[in-house]
Structure 1
Amino acid sequence: MLLVQLMKPFYTKLEGNRIKLVFAYQYFSIRKDDELFHFIPVEGKEIIVHAETLQVENLSEIFVFQKGNRFIRLPLYQLLLVSDIHMHLQTIIETNVHSDLSSSSLENAAQVIQELEQQNYERMIDYALLNRDVSLFNKLQQFKEHNGGFPIE
């Protein structure tokens, strides 16, 4: 059995419902019979995982590992079968992708808050007009002109 010694993607990217893990030199190594082989991006260099099912999609990708003048050339499906790569993939996905998703969720939340503030401002204008509250109407207009935004009060 092969053991993954080190597995750090060079970068991780979320593309739609796919998680792309790209590897480079010195970021991926395996141990076979007490010998350490380092990944070299000669053929395949990425693992694509479906974000919802967490299934690896590019199983035919060929990964090459080197120690001196010896090489191990493995299709990704075989690497998945004969090593403990699943544990490492799970850890990478949990740490990297959840942080990406949460940051995009924060951006979406900020946009929703801004839209709600806009709607609230418009309702306050309507309320001031409906009740013929000139003072409130003028305050709202002045606030918007001077601050370039909407009141949060």
Structure 2
Amino acid sequence: MIPTWPADLPQRVLADSFSETLADGRLRTSTETGMGKSRLRFSSAPKPLAVAFKVDPDQKARLERFWIEEIARGALPFLIQDQTKDGLAMLTDDGLQLLDDAGQPLLISAWWLVMIGEGPPVFTTRNRGMTYTAAFPLMVMP
């Protein structure tokens, strides 16, 4: 069974620390002169992300346990809500919100299968351990 990002940790990344890069499956080869060669090495490749979450001391301990016990120090993949699509309203081709029978908007449910990228989570604090920023790279698997 694939682990899921714990419900008792924040479910949304800090907006000012989020960055996403397009997946790049190219292979580049230097040439003696000129620009070099590039070709497609993989038909699909992981998409790199930089994420950070604001956590309190209990959530910091929970994230450490998730890292060590549930994803084997970052060696195993896990599921996390898609930070770019999950929770957005579904729209018609005209841009109008789709509604259910009760008139409530239909929302997108989307998940990423991810692995922690290079390096473990890094915790920083500016208020003597009252809250932390947990930052780490993620790779969205194709």
TM-score normalised to structure 1 length: 0.22
Greater gyration radius = 1
For CA contacts below 8 A with separation 6 or more, give which structure has more relative contact order: 2
Query: What TM-score results when the alignment is normalised by the length of structure 2?
Result: 0.23
Name whichever structure is richer in helix by fraction: 1
